[in-house]
Amino acid sequence: MIYSPSPGGHLITATYDGNPNFAGSTSKVLFQRVYRSGAISSSTSLTSSPDPSTSGQTVTITATVKGTGGPTGTVWFFNNGMLLGSAPVDPSGHAMIQTSSLPVGSRNYLTAGYGGDSVFNPSISSSRRQTVNA
């Protein structure tokens, strides 16, 4: 199958429906960036608070999107490749979600992907480890 996405950020998953011998499954989410020729570069960074948190505690995850002139659009948030949610970029360049469903442990790796807009190319943050104590 040939896939030719338009410029911007795209969420891609693969799904297997299963058969009588094997159960169905769905892959983690891939955040695919397709750059637009002539668009301005953006950068995305990520913070989470509190860190560490405790099981069931609400964690605020904030992405900051930077680019000359002020990016608009959507940011998608992930934990270990699984989509947590999305939020619009506000006029100050921030997008935020809150979650209380992160699993216990130190293997929560959060990332944020900015989808770009008509002026700015998409970008993705570095991975940030979030520890959740029992």
Task: Write the pLDDT tens digit of every residue in 105-120.
Answer: 999 999 999 999 999 9
In a domain, 52, yes or no: yes
pLDDT of residue 5: 79
In a domain, 31, yes or no: no
Read off the pLDDT of each residue in 57-75 and give the average, rounded to a whole number.
95
How many distinct structural domains can be found in the chain? 1
pLDDT per position as a tens digit, 11-49: 888 999 999 999 999 998 888 889 889 999 999 999 999
- Mean pLDDT of all residues in the chain? 94
In a domain, 11, yes or no: no
pLDDT of residue 1: 65
Rounded to a whole number of angstroms, the distance between the first and last alpha carbons of the chain is 44
Segment among 1-5, 20-24, 27-31, 86-90 with least mean pLDDT = 1-5
The secondary structure of residue 126, as a DSSP letter, is P
Tokens 């301005």 identify what position?
A: 40
pLDDT of residue 78: 97
Rg (CA), the chain: 16
In a domain, 9, yes or no: no
Structure tokens at 91: 């006029």
Three-state secondary-structure class, residue 127: coil
Instruction: State the residue range of the domain holding 83.
Output: 36-133
In a domain, 81, yes or no: yes
In a domain, 99, yes or no: yes
In a domain, 126, yes or no: yes
Read off the pLDDT of each residue in 82-93 and give the average, rounded to a whole number.
96
CB atoms within 10 A of CB 18: 10
In a domain, 41, yes or no: yes
> What whole-number distance in Å separates Cα of residue 86 and Cα of residue 12?
15
Confidence of residue 69 (pLDDT cuts 50, 70, 90): confident
Query: Looking at residue 109, which CATH number applies to its domain?
Result: 2.60.40.10
